[in-house]
């Protein structure tokens, strides 16, 4: 965390934004698809698209001119952003209308300390997830030296 209180507040705000506004929106249709009946799957997907489009639009503006979420240095905010944007883009792809966000996601995915699940663990978009299908366990951690790991 930055020593400057205003910078620390920005990092924590963005950390919470990625968890609450991106990851939570992404998880709703996933949970619905994994339910036995999945009765709300289409409704949950529509809600996720609306919420993610709103979050993507806000991030497009907020990230303008920044290398990383909270400025020029990797931070806790980027640790929250990496899994959030990695999976959100699977559920609802980040549109070409958001080039700044797409570029930021690409920088996150190119980050040497980031280890993502093997491509073979991705069974397709949320529409193809079934209750009996394969699942991937995830462990995530972020150390102060900004090494981030996701293991499938």
The pLDDT score that the predictor gives to residue 121 is 52
Of 113 and 69, the structure prediction assigns the larger pLDDT to 69
Domains defined for the chain, CATH in brackets: 5-151 (1.20.1050.10)
Mean pLDDT of 99-108: 96
pLDDT at 13 over 80: yes
The pLDDT score that the predictor gives to residue 137 is 31
Residue 151 carries which DSSP code? E
With residue 27 as reference, give the H or E element that holds it. Answer: helix 24-34
The pLDDT score that the predictor gives to residue 12 is 97
* pLDDT averaged over every residue in the chain: 79
Tokens of 70: 């909270």
Can you tell me the distance from the alpha carbon of 35 to that of 47, in angstroms, rounded to the nearest whole number? 17
CA distances from 98 to 52, 95, 116, 141 (A): 12, 6, 23, 28
Model-level pTM?
0.76
With residue 14 as reference, give the H or E element that holds it. Answer: helix 5-17
Q: Is the four-CA dihedral 109, 8, 53, 149 of positive or negative sign? A: positive
The DSSP string of 34-100 is: HSSS-TTHHHHHHHHHHHHHHHHHHHHHHTTT-SBTTBSS--HHHHHHHHHHHHHHHHSPPPTT-HH
């Amino acid at each position: 965390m930055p020593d400057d209180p205003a910078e620390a507040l920005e990092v924590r705000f963005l950390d919470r934004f990625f968890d609450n506004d991106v990851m939570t929106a992404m998880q709703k249709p996933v949970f619905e698809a994994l339910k036995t009946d999945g009765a709300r799957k289409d409704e949950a997907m529509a809600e996720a698209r609306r919420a993610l489009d709103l979050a993507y639009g806000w991030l497009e503006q907020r990230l303008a001119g920044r290398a990383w979420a909270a400025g020029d240095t990797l931070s806790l905010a980027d640790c929250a952003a990496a899994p959030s944007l990695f999976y959100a883009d699977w559920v609802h792809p980040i549109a070409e209308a958001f080039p700044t966000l797409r570029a930021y996601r690409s920088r996150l995915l190119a980050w040497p300390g980031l280890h993502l699940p093997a491509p073979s663990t991705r069974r397709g978009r949320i529409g193809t997830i079934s209750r009996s299908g394969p699942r991937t366990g995830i462990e995530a951690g972020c150390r102060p030296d900004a090494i981030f790991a996701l293991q499938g």
